[in-house]
Structures are given as C-alpha cells and as structure tokens.
Amino acid sequence: MEIQQCESRARSANLIPRMSRIVHDPFPMGLLDELLSSLTGGEFLPEAVREEIAQALACVDEGELVIAEARLLGLSDDHPDLPAVFLALGEVRSRRGHDEAAVEAYGRAVNLAKHAVDGWLGLGEALARLGREEPARDALRRVLSGTAQVDL
C-alpha cells in the first residue's frame, strides 16, 4: 500500500487528530511524517518501520484493530527503542478499550521521547478513563506547561 494512501486513511480515521498542532515546520509534511518526526526529534526513522506503522494505521481505518495491534506488537519486539511504535500501539489499544495496556504503551513512548506531546496527551486521557485522576491531571498539566515527566 502506498504511504500517501496510508496517510490519507489515518487522517480520515482521525487516528492522530493532534498532530498538526505539535510540529510547526515551514515545509508541508504528511500527517505520518509529522507523527514520526515529533516522536523521533526529527531523526530518521527506517523506511521499513515507517511502512509497517502506516500499514497498521490503515488496518485501524478498516476496523481491524486486533491485526493492527498484533503488527505493532511485533514491531515493538523488533524495535523496542522507537517511541513512534509505542505511540501507535497506545492509540490502537485505546481504541480497543484496553486502557491499562494503552497506559503501558503510552508510558513507554514518553519514557523514550519525553517531548512526545501526543504520548503525554494519550497517557493523560487513558489514565482519566481508568479513574486515575491525579496522574492524568499531572500528565495533561505538564503538556500545557511544557514539562514532560509524570509519576504513574
């Protein structure tokens, strides 16, 4: 599947609605590029990993959340140091209603990339759904204040 199609599908599924607010680059970038750039601090992400994340997001658009999660879990085993993988995994787990697992994935993403605003937002939202109000408020406050550490 073409990357542009995957980006379009992810955008239409509103999977990553906050991306346009966190990367302010003078040159237009695709949604997936923004996500990956924000999570890697602008570092290069291997094309194979980028493609696999895009395919997993396309599965989400098709309603295949279990398949998307399985793909991302395999990718996380192969690339345990890439926060983009764990952010995508957190999004999929949130959509499946698996908030404890989403907290785990988002937590891993923000531990790997303290600047990953979407990771902190996702973490705060998942914690709030679990009724863990104080850590949720901390995560969301820190996003607003620009600091990026929260005690789970």
* Pair 83, 40: CB distance under 8 Å: yes
Predicted pLDDT at 64: 93
Listed residue (68, 63, 80, 71) closest to 13, CA to CA: 63
123: its two tokens:
């973490």
Q: 50-88: buried (b, 16+ CB within 10 Å) or exposed (e) per residue?
A: bebbbbbbbbbbeeebeebbebbbebbeebeebbbbbbb
Nearest-angstrom CA–CA distance, 91 and 111: 16
- Dihedral pair phi/psi, residue 90, rounded to 5°: -60, -40
Q: How far apart are the first and last CA of the chain?
A: 38
All residues at 6 or more sequence positions from 102 whose CB lies less than 8 Å from its CB, including other chains: 90, 91, 93, 94, 122, 126
Does the predicted model carry a pTM greater than 0.75?
no
Q: What is the pLDDT along the chain (152 residues), one digit of tens a residue?
A: 333 444 444 444 444 443 333 333 333 345 555 555 555 555 567 888 989 999 998 998 889 999 999 999 999 999 999 999 999 999 999 999 999 999 999 999 999 988 788 888 999 999 999 999 999 998 888 788 766 544 44
Predicted pLDDT at 37: 55
Predicted pLDDT at 87: 92
All residues at 6 or more sequence positions from 55 whose CB lies less than 8 Å from its CB, including other chains: 1, 6, 71
